[in-house]
Chain A
Amino acid sequence: MSTVLHLTNISLTNRLHVGSLHAVKGECIHLLGPNGAGKSSLMAVIAGLITPEQGEVVLCDKALGAWSLAELASLRTMLSQQLESNFALRVGEYLSFYAHSHRDNLLIPVMLERALEVELFLDKPLTHLSGGERQRVEICRALLQIWPQLEVGEGIAILDEPLQGLDIRHQYAVATLAQALCAKGNTIIMSSHDIALSANYSTSLWLMNKGHVVASGAPHSVATQHNLEHVFECHFLISKKKNFLEIQVCAPITLP
């Protein structure tokens, strides 16, 4: 498989220092790390929304700076952490502004609807949704933007904490959706705070701390007791059962 993303010596003062990092087509990468570790900054750099002070990002064999906004828009999508909306527009209308379907007929692809279940509130104003419902709509919006690419397995989705605020059923549904999209050949980079879920629903983990990527690779080699305890400052219990990594958090090490 080919490399879709390659980062070399990226740096943003006081926020991000990444040596060399790459993503292979079809990978489902979960980004783990404590608050302020630089996960969002790294994703914004990869999405081309922040230009790093130093270093180079190469996306599909072309330097990020050489892509036009419009070209990028059809290839990759970015879900940022939730923003307030002051307008009470209907969900259906909101999604249609980002969808590629014809005119007024907004069609939610079956695969998205099965995981996100947004058709129930297409007629509701955006402002009347609960936090989790809104998050499902946002994920749907982000994926609709590049749906033609995702359908043929050529898309790149960068999702900043997509699981935030979702109920447990939808958390697993979204993680499974990400896996299914990657199985088609798409590449997904998403951050998460659920270490146990991420270790089992990703093909690789990037573990971040204080602006550095401290470990990256297959989940079982990154989610080790040593790595996790060092980064999250908590005691962990990790056991391996067949293809499943069971990770339990016991108690924080340093909190008073």
Chain B
Amino acid sequence: MINPKATVIAVASLFGVALASVLAVVAFSDSPNALKLHILYQLQLPLVLTATLVGAALSVSGATLQVVLRNPLADPGIVGITSGASLVAALLLLITPQWAQAYLHYLLPLGCFIGALATTFTIYKLARKLLGSSTAVILSGIAISTLSGAIIAWLYLFSDANSLRNLTFWLMGSLYQTSWPILLVGGPLIIAALWYQFASAGSYNRLYAGDVAATSSGVDVHQLTERSLIACAIAVGAAVSMAGSIAFVGLLIPHILRLLIGHNNKFLLPLCALAGATLLLLVALCSELTRAITLPVSMITATLGGPLLIWALLKGQLR
């Protein structure tokens, strides 16, 4: 374990630097001041807020799912929450009739949110029918993800070129799809869901010792699991409806942070929020610097995250 305080300071300053750099890209451009203000308000602030909220939602939910499902492999993507949202997005993008296209901008986030909640519900019901164990949740999650993946693949066959490009971007994630109304609805949802998870950190700590020990120490494990799954579905559903499906953040950030500051969720979850936000701000910075080509978010998170995760795994094994 490296010094926790140093880690917190490092992550916090990285967050500050990333935030400042994204804003500086426009501030130091040679546009007139009025235009700068307009860009700041209409593009930069939504971008920064989206990156912060989505990054925090994904990594905190990942950390929570891993503890609640007693499986270090859990991640909003693997558990199937993202795939449900993506499926609804795909359906809406390809099937929405011409007259409704104008409302697509609002239909899409709403649909994603409903999709995320619906898959979580299905997965949970299915898991309870199976073994009722946390492994069953993951297995059902994989089953549902595979099914949604298959349906999306079929939809590809029946779509035109324009919808196809839209869909691809949606499935790879983008930080430029939000607008203020969506942020004002999604933001509070994410904050509320994260607040619940932070507040449950003490109970999550007890789960490391198993169901019986946690129950005997006063944690209602069944209720905690149910509510945490709902909180994760809300946070991830809102995140996906803002930025499409972004892979890997929920797996990567918690694993690296556990190596750096340990497993105490009271510190881990808030720091996950900060680190997740920082990672997506860095992605936003990359996109800002390469304005000419639009980079899908998952591509960058995977490029940055893959090597980091391998390092984290090796370090974890060697200890």
Identify the A interface with B (CB < 8 A). Answer: 44, 47, 49, 69-70, 72-74, 76-80, 83, 85-90, 93-94, 96-98, 125, 138, 141-142, 145
State whether A49 and B263 are in contact (beta carbons under 8 Å apart), knowing that A85-B208, A87-B208, A94-B208 are contacts in the complex: no
Of the stretches B41-49, B211-219, B238-246, B298-306, the one at the interface is B211-219
Of A49, A76, A88, A141, the residue contacting B316 (CB under 8 A) is A88
Instruction: Enumerate chain A residues within 8 angstroms of B202, measured Cβ to Cβ.
Output: 97
Name 25 interchain pairs, CB-CB below 8 A, sorted by A. Answer: A69-B215, A70-B218, A72-B218, A76-B216, A78-B213, A79-B213, A80-B213, A83-B210, A83-B212, A85-B209, A86-B70, A86-B71, A86-B72, A87-B72, A87-B208, A87-B258, A87-B263, A90-B262, A93-B263, A94-B208, A94-B263, A96-B264, A97-B209, A97-B264, A98-B209
- 1/0 per position for B249-276, CB-CB distance to A under 8 A? 0000000001000111000000000000
Q: Are A141 and B213 in contact (CB under 8 A)?
A: yes
Q: How far is the CA of A212 from the CA of B264 in the complex (A)?
A: 43
CB of B319 closer than 8 Å to a CB of A: yes
CB of B226 closer than 8 Å to a CB of A: no
Instruction: Enumerate chain B residues within 8 angstroms of A138, measured Cβ to Cβ.
Output: 209
Name the residue on B nearest A88 (C-beta): B316
Instruction: Enumerate chain A residues within 8 angstroms of B217, measured Cβ to Cβ.
Output: 73, 77, 98, 145
Count A-B contacts at CB 8 Å. Answer: 74
Q: Are B70 and A78 in contact (CB under 8 A)?
A: no
Q: A93-B262, A97-B206 are in contact. List 4 more A-B contacts (CB 8 A).
A: A49-B212, A77-B216, A79-B213, A89-B258
Instruction: Enumerate chain B residues within 8 angstroms of A49, measured Cβ to Cβ.
Output: 212, 215-216
Instruction: Enumerate chain A residues within 8 angstroms of B218, measured Cβ to Cβ.
Output: 69-70, 72-74
Q: How far is the CA of A78 from the CA of B319 in the complex (A)?
A: 31
Q: Closest CB of chain A to B276's CB: distance in Å?
A: 20
Could you say which of B208, B210, B319 has the most chain A C-beta atoms within 10 Å of its C-beta? B208
Q: How far is the CA of A93 from the CA of B209 in the complex (A)?
A: 12
Q: Closest CB of chain B to A106's CB: distance in Å?
A: 12
Q: Are B72 and A98 in contact (CB under 8 A)?
A: no
Of A47, A89, A145, the residue contacting B262 (CB under 8 A) is A89
Q: How far is the CA of A9 from the CA of B316 in the complex (A)?
A: 51
Q: How far is the CA of A70 from the CA of B218 in the complex (A)?
A: 5
Could you say which of A74, A86, A125 has the most chain B C-beta atoms within 10 Å of its C-beta? A86
State whether A69 and B212 are in contact (beta carbons under 8 Å apart), knowing that A87-B263, A97-B205, A97-B206 are contacts in the complex: no
Q: How far is the CA of A44 from the CA of B206 in the complex (A)?
A: 18
Name the residue on B nearest A68 (C-beta): B218
Q: Closest CB of chain B to A148's CB: distance in Å?
A: 13
Could you say which of B70, B205, B212 has the most chain A C-beta atoms within 10 Å of its C-beta? B212
State whether A97 and B208 are in contact (beta carbons under 8 Å apart), knowing that A73-B217, A87-B72 are contacts in the complex: yes
Count class of interface residues, chain B: 20 to 34
> Chain B: interface secondary structure?
loop
CB of B9 closer than 8 Å to a CB of A: no
Q: Closest CB of chain A to B71's CB: distance in Å?
A: 6
Q: Are A94 and B216 in contact (CB under 8 A)?
A: no
Q: How far is the CA of A172 from the CA of B313 in the complex (A)?
A: 40
Instruction: Enumerate chain A residues within 8 angstroms of B212, measured Cβ to Cβ.
Output: 44, 49, 78, 80, 83
A-B residue pairs, 3 tightest by C-beta: A73-B218, A89-B263, A78-B216
Q: How far is the CA of A79 from the CA of B217 in the complex (A)?
A: 11
Q: How far is the CA of A90 from the CA of B205 in the complex (A)?
A: 12
Q: How far is the CA of A114 from the CA of B316 in the complex (A)?
A: 31
CB of B102 closer than 8 Å to a CB of A: no
Of B208, B210, B319, the residue contacting A80 (CB under 8 A) is B210
Instruction: Enumerate chain A residues within 8 angstroms of B70, measured Cβ to Cβ.
Output: 86
Instruction: Enumerate chain A residues within 8 angstroms of B262, measured Cβ to Cβ.
Output: 89-90, 93
Q: Closest CB of chain B to A211's CB: distance in Å?
A: 20
CB of B1 closer than 8 Å to a CB of A: yes
Q: Closest CB of chain B to A101's CB: distance in Å?
A: 14
Q: Are B1 and A47 in contact (CB under 8 A)?
A: no
Q: Are A73 and B216 in contact (CB under 8 A)?
A: yes
Q: How far is the CA of A76 from the CA of B258 in the complex (A)?
A: 31
Name the residue on A nearest B220 (C-beta): A69
Q: How far is the CA of A88 from the CA of B313 in the complex (A)?
A: 12
Instruction: Enumerate chain A residues within 8 angstroms of B1, measured Cβ to Cβ.
Output: 90
Q: How far is the CA of A97 from the CA of B206 in the complex (A)?
A: 6
Instruction: Enumerate chain A residues within 8 angstroms of B258, measured Cβ to Cβ.
Output: 87, 89
Q: Which of B1-49 contact A (CB under 8 A)?
A: 1
Name the residue on B nearest A77 (C-beta): B216
Of B206, B264, B319, the residue contacting A93 (CB under 8 A) is B264
- 1/0 per position for B107-125, CB-CB distance to A under 8 A? 0000000000000000000
Could you say which of A44, A83, A96, A138 has the most chain B C-beta atoms within 10 Å of its C-beta? A83
Q: How far is the CA of A67 from the CA of B293 in the complex (A)?
A: 63
